[in-house]
Amino acid sequence: MYWFATGIFIVAYALIISEKIHKTKVALFGAAVTLIGKILDQQEAFHDIDLGVDWNVIFLLISMMVMINIMTKTGVFQYVAIKCAKIAKGEPFRIMALFAVITALGSAFLDNVTTVLLLAPVTLLIAEQLEINPIPYLITEALASNIGGTATLIGDPPNIMIASKAGLNFMDFIVHLTPAIIIIFLFWMLAWKIVFGKRLTVRDELKRRIMTMNEREQIRDPALLKKSLLILGLTILGFMLHGFFHYEPATVALMGAMTLFMLSDEEPAEILAEVEWPTIFFFIGLFIIIGGIVKVGLVEDLSRAMIAVTHPQPDDMTVLAMVMLWFSAICSAIVDNIPFVATMNPILIDLSNQVFGSAATTAAQARTIDPVWWALSLGACLGGNGSPIGASANVIVIGLSEKAGHNISFGQFLKYGLPTMFLTIVLSMLYIYLRYYVLQWF
Amino acid sequence: MDVSTCMRKTVVLAEPDCDFVCLLHKIAAPTPRLAYIVNKDRTLIGVVSARDLLKEVMPSYMNAHLARSISDGADYLKRQAEKARHRCARDIMVKKVISLHPHHQLLQADAIFAERGFNTLPVVDVDNKIIGEITRVDILVHLIGDPFTYNYDGVMDLSQ
């Protein structure tokens, strides 16, 4: 069984990386083989918290997708983007910086792909009006979405998975990751100012084109917009308080999404059809494959190997945190960060069990292991900027740009993405080291 | 009844290097129709419709809501059209062409029109050389009879 499960895992990973077969097909087929081969039984696959599908992740993802699908129909993102371009008075760098801020903020609370999908058409239009190359703007938005998505529990699927497995709540992410992302974002923008500040210039007559644009035309349904903003606000409040009221994040998200669904006039068939079912089923398949390698002991072996390399102690895991950060970043630049985090989660839990003798339950144990979870999150999310295939937002932006007649080559993306990845990971390393190991600020 | 019984044998042809303006002329006159892009031996390699030309002028990211935010819409369109002028048939044409053979049944042609939403389909021989085209109207005329034998007030000048 050990080698059978390991074989399924390796072949699935290889096929996902090769992109020769759609990753959802690979994950679901791998899951089917795991079940038919009796590595896991159906009870374990669907009902076991440690081995099976993490329904908290699945329902959180579905709920947020439903909420986003309804919100996109209001036109609010396009409104904000055009408004920002006007606030920037048509200045190209200011527009780039403001669009990066909107994208990062949007991605912190919504899906990264949706955020860039909504902003890219406005970006292309504004670049067209200013007669400038849209490529640096589009790449900046993809990078900003990956940075912004790292800030919250709901910003990026790896964070949702980490929160569920590590028992971290929304406020833990706000307290530990949001400050890191604010610092990282400011430094990144400073670097971008140095790179693009003087390169991006346009004539005054072209800036006037931006100033004459009418952002109000973008609001398609003002009543739905008011409802959406109210429900989104309440849902975020619910996320902040979910630990206090002992609700899982998925429960809060489901309540928010279904309330908005009830209040909107949207047809269920239309809204549910727009849920990214391939992604949802990719998760389901992946959870079952990973459950298989946990059950047969491969994860235990991998965590033992990690302990041998990094020598984590019950009171100090500095080396492990640093190795985890860089390892996650490099892997996530090459591999989809979802399967990566799905694999790392049980390894870290097993590692914690081995170091502490049981799962980290005391405050002192949590203090030691939590920085490692933050390192995994920062590495996995920010590492996605390292290559065009590192994150879904990158792939989407490249596709949209190509469709609009602006090809972004692999090398061209790397020129922007790789330095961003290194800058953000170095800053993350400094943040983790200074905050948790020098200042001891937990 | 097969396609050969009612296909048209006069078609608009263009070479892959034919530019945007030339394509527009070919499609617009004498009646709106497709331009078939062929090699020198008349092998069909693509097709261009007015819709394809319009797609070249209208950027992929544009939608009706976004369009409303632009105050200088005419100027914007002129700039896009100016860019499109430099493209040629090879860049614009639809390469995956659905075609018919003369021996295909009219029912089959009609089903393709209905399923795919096309109005016109090229007819090619076994070597994929174009030999004609067939339209929805051609099939209907063939089935119902020539409408020009009836006396209808079909066309009205609304400017008066």
CB A78 within 8 A of CB A65: no
The residue type at A157: P
Name the minimum distance, in Å, from the CA of B111 to any CA of chain A: 28
Q: Which residue of B has its CA nearest to A210?
A: B70
* Cα(A343)–Cα(A9) distance, integer angstroms: 10
Q: Which residue of B has its CA nearest to A131?
A: B79
On whether any CB of chain B is under 8 Å from the CB of A411, the answer is no
Nearest to B61 among A75, A125, A214 (CB): A125
pLDDT reported for residue B145:
74
Q: Which residue of A has its CA nearest to B69?
A: A214
Which positions in chain A touch B84 (Cβ < 8 Å)?
none
Q: Which residue of A has its CA nearest to B66?
A: A218
pLDDT reported for residue B160:
65
Cβ separation B69–A213 shorter than 8 A? yes
Name the minimum distance, in Å, from the CA of B10 to any CA of chain A: 35
Nearest to A212 among B60, B65, B71 (CB): B71
Cβ separation A217–B60 shorter than 8 A? no
Give the ipTM of the model, two decimals please. 0.74
Name the minimum distance, in Å, from the CA of A210 to any CA of chain B: 9
Name the minimum distance, in Å, from the CA of A104 to any CA of chain B: 21
pLDDT reported for residue A359:
65
Name the minimum distance, in Å, from the CA of B32 to any CA of chain A: 27
What is the full per-residue pLDDT of chain A (442 aa) written as tens digits?
Answer: 899 999 999 999 899 888 889 999 999 999 999 999 999 999 999 999 889 999 989 999 999 999 988 988 899 989 999 999 999 999 999 999 999 999 999 999 988 988 998 999 999 999 999 999 999 999 999 999 999 999 999 999 999 999 999 989 999 999 999 999 999 999 999 999 999 988 889 999 999 999 999 999 899 899 999 999 999 999 999 999 988 888 999 999 999 999 999 999 889 999 999 898 998 999 999 999 999 999 999 988 998 899 999 999 988 899 999 999 999 999 999 888 888 999 999 999 999 988 988 766 677 788 889 999 999 999 999 999 999 988 889 988 999 899 888 999 989 999 999 999 999 999 999 999 999 999 988 8
* Cα(A421)–Cα(A326) distance, integer angstroms: 10
Q: Which of A193, A215, A190 is nearest to A92 (CA)?
A: A193
Which positions in chain B touch A128 (Cβ < 8 Å)?
59, 76, 79
The count of other CB atoms within 10 Å of the CB of residue A335 is 18
Nearest to A214 among B62, B69, B79 (CB): B69
* Cα(A207)–Cα(A189) distance, integer angstroms: 22
According to DSSP, residue A435 is labeled: I
**Tokens 């292991």 belong to which residue?**
A369
What is the full per-residue pLDDT of chain B (160 aa) written as tens digits?
Answer: 789 888 888 888 899 999 988 888 888 766 657 899 999 999 999 999 988 999 899 998 898 889 989 988 888 999 999 989 889 999 999 999 999 999 999 999 999 999 998 889 999 999 999 999 999 888 888 887 766 665 655 556 677 6
Q: Which of A361, A367, A358, A353 is nearest to A318 (CA)?
A: A367
pLDDT reported for residue B156:
63
The residue type at A236: I
Nearest to A404 among B59, B72, B79 (CB): B59
Strand B12-14 vs strand B35-38: parallel, antiparallel, or unpaired? parallel
* Cα(B38)–Cα(B36) distance, integer angstroms: 6
Helix (H, G, I), strand (E, B), or coil: what is residue A396? helix
Strand B44-48 vs strand B120-124: parallel, antiparallel, or unpaired? unpaired
Nearest to A212 among B60, B68, B72 (CB): B72
Residues 205-234 on A with a CB inside 8 Å of B are 209, 212-215, 217-218, 220
Nearest to B61 among A129, A209, A400 (CB): A400
pLDDT reported for residue B23:
87
List domains and CATH numbers for chain B.
Answer: 3-147 (3.10.580.10)
